[in-house]
Structure 1
Amino acid sequence: MSKLKLNITMSIDGFVAGPDQSPEHPLGVGGEELH
């Protein structure tokens, strides 16, 4: 059986970010699709 490892962080106001956050991508790569 496959194993899946997930790591997600949510702020107190309910926002999550995608991977690879940077000044150019404050919500992470693809983060705008999460909202």
Structure 2
Amino acid sequence: MSKVVLDVSMSLDGFTAGPSVRAEEPMGDGGE
């Protein structure tokens, strides 16, 4: 059986941030 791990956080206003938050990508990789 496979195991899936997600590394995502959501703020109270509904924005999501992916991993690797940095100055060039303030929402992280794949953040919306």
Q: Fold-level match, TM-score > 0.5? A: yes
Identify the TM-score tier after normalising by the shorter chain. 0.5 to 0.7
TM-score (norm 2): 0.62
Q: Which has more radius of gyration?
A: 1
Consecutive unaligned residues of structure 1, counting only runs of 5 or more, are none
Count of equivalent residues: 32
Consecutive unaligned residues of structure 2, counting only runs of 5 or more, are none
> CA RMSD of the aligned region, Å?
1.4
TM-score (norm 1): 0.60
Identify, as 1 or 2, the structure richer in strand. Answer: 2
